Amino acid sequence: MFDLGLESTHTLITGSSGGLGLELVSLFLSQGSLVTAHYNSNPAGLDSIPSSSALVKAQADVEKEAEVERLFVEAREGMGGKGVEVLVVNHAYIALNDAPLSKMTLEQWNKTININLTGTFLLVRAFLNQLHYVPENRKHKIAVVFIGSTAGLFGEAGHADYACSKSALMTGLALSLKNEIVTLAPRARVNVVAPGWIKTPAVASLLADPDVVYRALATTPLKKLADPRDVATQVLALASETLSGHVTGQVVMVHGGMEGRLLNREADI
C-alpha cells in the first residue's frame, strides 16, 4: 500500500456514524491514523468498526458552542494529549421533503443553516484554537477537508437551504480559511470534496424511484451513482500532505462528470 503519510495523524471526522462517515473512519484507520469519530446522537453505526486504541467516539451537537469546544477536549484527551491535525467536516442535514422557497418554513431554513454552516464555523474555530497542541515539527500535516455537494454548484430546487449552506462552505468559507490558516501553520491546507448522489442507506428509499435516479444521471457521462468509497478516497488524498502538500483552496467534484441539473422532461415542455 502506498504510504500517504497519515500514520499517527490525529483526524477528527464529523458525522461518522453512517454512510460516508463510516467509510471515512475505516479508510483513515487503515492508513494508521488516530481517529476521533464524532456523532450527534446515535453511535450505533460505529459498532461495525472494531474497537481500537486508535479510535475515539465522541458525541456533540454541532449547533451548541460548548459541546463543540468539549468535543475537541475529549478528542485530545482520548489520544493522550495529541491535538487534532486533520479536520474532516462531513456532517450535514437535508430535509427529505421538497420545499420550494415560497413554502419553506423559517424553522427548516434555520435548522439547515445552523447545522451545516454555523456548526461548521464552530468546528473550524475550535480546531484553529487548539492548533497550539500540535508540535511545530508536525504542523505541515494540518489540513481541513469540507464535504460540499453538487447542490452548492448547480443549486437544488426544493432544497435551497441545503444548496446555500454547501455553496458557502465551498467558496466563501473554504477560500477565506485557506488564507487565514497559514498564519497559524504555514503549510496548512483547506480543500473541499463535493459529491453528487452517494449510495447510502439514508437515501435508499429515494433512489428506489427510477425517476430520481434518471434525473441524477441524465447529465452524468459515467452513468453511475457514487459509492461511499469513491468520495472517501478523494478526502484521503486531500488530507494527505504527501499527495496534496501543494494543493489548497480547491473543490474536487466527485460527481461522475455531471454537467448540470435535468430541469425538464419531455412531458414538461
Q: Enumerate the active-site residues.
A: 162
Which residue type occupies 112? Answer: T
Cell of 65: 458552542
Query: How far apart, in whole angstroms, are the C-alpha atoms of residue 171 and residue 53?
Result: 36
Query: How far apart, in whole angstroms, are the C-alpha atoms of residue 35 and residue 84?
Result: 9
Which residue type occupies 83? Answer: G
Query: How far apart, in whole angstroms, are the C-alpha atoms of residue 234 and residue 229?
Result: 9
H or E element in which residue 157 lies: none
Query: How far apart, in whole angstroms, are the C-alpha atoms of residue 10 and residue 85?
Result: 5
Within 77-188, strands assigned E span 86-89, 143-147
Query: How far apart, in whole angstroms, are the C-alpha atoms of residue 96 and residue 161?
Result: 12
> 88 pairs with which residues across the strands?
13, 145
Q: Are strands 34-39 and 10-13 parallel, antiparallel or unpaired?
A: parallel
Q: Cell numbers 487548539 label which residue?
A: 130
